Amino acid sequence: MSEESEVLSTFSYDSDEEASSHKFYLSRLAEAVRNLIGLQDCKLLKLAEGGYHKVYDVSANNASSLVVRVAAPAFPIDKVESEIATLQCIASHTKIHTPHVYAWNTADDNPVGSEYMILEKVAGTPASDVWDTLSFEKKEVVVSEVAEHIIQLFHLRFETAGSLYRTAGINQDFTVGPIISVPYYRALDGFVRFPHSPISDPGIMKFRGPFSDTSSYLQSFLKVELHIICDQHLRQLVLEQELNGDKSRLEHGTRVLQKALQLASVYPGDICVSSPLSTPEHPFSLRMDDFRLSNIMIDENTGHITGLIDFEGATISPLWECAYIPRWLQDPEEWDGTHEGGTPSEKSSLRKVFFDKIKQIDKDGEWKRAHDHGRPFREFTNMLNFNVNVWADSSIERWVDARLQWAYEHPGEGLISI
């Protein structure tokens, strides 16, 4: 439950424990906005709230084009810095419209009590709000432009994997640093896994990268869970709270995690170096973590995209992970599909629009190769955030065993969808 007053606001998670709540000063946040725009009569009206942030509209005569995002402490402390860098990098190196950031504060002694940014309110309507009533012709426009945006992001290339940050100095540039990703969140989907364990635990934070190769990138997710179940205190919590005291299941899950760690080490070189999917010098690109319809702003009269919003969790990842179809376009029966986006039949027609546009603008076919050959790799990365209880499932172990065997018997050929 979220508590809100004119003075204080609270991020609360699925726990009554004090460690699972965080308060910040809404009144001081409003004052920061007033100081920025020079108007004392502006107010903050909450637009949206999720497990990781709150969004406020700035209500004032001359400031209706601003919003404020406040980050929950569920993230590593550099989450806002990375999101700002991502917004600015995309704005600098692509034609994609991202919100301009006017001000932010990520200091430890921040008077608001939480990281925040004040940014442009992108014109238009979230595609999710009108998708069900939008004509098919306008949906075609949206999907075609989504393909263009994905290709532009795909063409951004980096030497290492992780998350983006701004470099210091007069000539501002961007660098890849520690990753902002699920294993390092304090809370996931509103649930705090270990309320009394600090998110800054150096034993876990050391796995955040950046990563010079794909194996290190993939293994980091698995190493976090192995670190947790090797820690005496956390292991006991996992055993009691997640496994109902079943030590044999804990041992089974640990064994499968170690196999997955092997799998992460034997195949990536095939697809990152000797494969035509990328150049050895720049094997990574930018991947949006949340390319949902709600984060695509459109002109509902034409279907044209007016901008993209919500870049938290965006990462620099292997090319095959960046060459994806948005889940709302996938068949819901697929492992990476969702029921968002319409009927299976309509989605099928829109996927054709998507691929036709990709074919038109992906001149050398690099995205298509990365997409087609990378499918089993993306399926693997979709599993990397599982906790030990899920890894203990026999079907998961069979999945890993089959691909380990293939990787060892077919060196240099990558993986197949078995």
Domain ranges, residue 114: 9-122
Query: In this predicted model, which residue has the larger pLDDT, 44 or 254?
Result: 254
Query: In this predicted model, which residue has the larger pLDDT, 22 or 131?
Result: 131
On whether both 312 and 382 belong to a single domain, the answer is yes
Tokens of 165: 């940050």
Per-residue model confidence (pLDDT) at position 14:
61
Collapsed DSSP state (helix, strand, coil) of residue 350: helix
On whether both 100 and 227 belong to a single domain, the answer is no
Asked if residue 168 is part of any domain, the answer here is no
On whether both 112 and 241 belong to a single domain, the answer is no
Q: Rounded to two decimals, what is the model's pTM?
A: 0.88
Per-residue model confidence (pLDDT) at position 416:
62
Cβ–Cβ < 8 Å for 313, 290: yes
Which of 68-82, 169-183, 356-370 has the highest mean predicted lDDT (pLDDT)?
Answer: 356-370
| Rounded average pLDDT over 159-178 | 86
Which of 43-57, 77-91, 203-217, 285-299 has the weakest average pLDDT?
A: 43-57
pLDDT above 70: percentage of residues in the chain: 84
- Residue 18, pLDDT > 60, answer no
- Residue 252, pLDDT > 80, answer yes
On whether both 29 and 156 belong to a single domain, the answer is no
Per-residue model confidence (pLDDT) at position 170:
55
pLDDT in tens, 295-346: 999 999 999 999 999 888 899 999 989 999 999 999 888 888 888 889 999 9
Per-residue model confidence (pLDDT) at position 20:
57
| Rounded average pLDDT over 141-150 | 97
Per-residue model confidence (pLDDT) at position 199:
55
- Residue 192, pLDDT > 80, answer no
CA distance 300 to 87: 24
Cβ–Cβ < 8 Å for 219, 261: yes
- Residue 181, pLDDT > 90, answer no
On whether both 339 and 387 belong to a single domain, the answer is yes
Which of 116-125, 370-379, 383-392 has the weakest average pLDDT?
A: 370-379
Query: Strands, DSSP E only, in 275-406?
Result: 284-287, 296-298, 305-308, 315-318
Q: Which residues contact 161 (CB under 8 A, 6 or more apart)?
A: 176, 179, 209, 210, 211, 214, 216, 217, 284, 315, 316, 317, 318
Tokens of 392: 């203990």
Q: Which residues contact 124 (CB under 8 A, 6 or more apart)?
A: 297, 298, 299, 300, 305, 306, 307
| Rounded average pLDDT over 8-36 | 75
Query: In this predicted model, which residue has the larger pLDDT, 2 or 396?
Result: 396
On whether both 226 and 100 belong to a single domain, the answer is no
Strand partners, 297: 126, 307
CA distance 176 to 217: 13
Asked if residue 140 is part of any domain, the answer here is yes
Per-residue model confidence (pLDDT) at position 298:
97
Asked if residue 197 is part of any domain, the answer here is no
Taking all residues of the chain, what is their mean pLDDT, rounded to a whole number? Answer: 85
| Rounded average pLDDT over 180-198 | 70
Per-residue model confidence (pLDDT) at position 269:
45
On whether both 385 and 264 belong to a single domain, the answer is yes
Per-residue model confidence (pLDDT) at position 377:
86
CA distance 34 to 318: 42
Asked if residue 191 is part of any domain, the answer here is no
pLDDT in tens, 33-57: 988 888 777 888 888 877 678 899 9
Asked if residue 177 is part of any domain, the answer here is no
Query: In this predicted model, which residue has the larger pLDDT, 395 or 20?
Result: 395
User: Which of 64, 91, 122 is at the close of a domain?
Assistant: 122
- Residue 246, pLDDT > 70, answer yes
Which of 74-83, 136-145, 236-245, 263-272 has the weakest average pLDDT?
A: 263-272
pLDDT in tens, 338-372: 888 899 999 999 999 999 999 999 988 999 988 98
We report the CATH number of the domain holding residue 61 as 3.30.200.20
On whether both 20 and 93 belong to a single domain, the answer is yes
We report the CATH number of the domain holding residue 288 as 3.90.1200
| pLDDT bracket for residue 275 (50, 70, 90) | very low
* Number of structural domains in the chain: 2
On whether both 150 and 265 belong to a single domain, the answer is yes
Cβ–Cβ < 8 Å for 176, 93: no
Asked if residue 173 is part of any domain, the answer here is no
On whether both 17 and 105 belong to a single domain, the answer is yes
Q: Which amino acid, 267?
A: Y
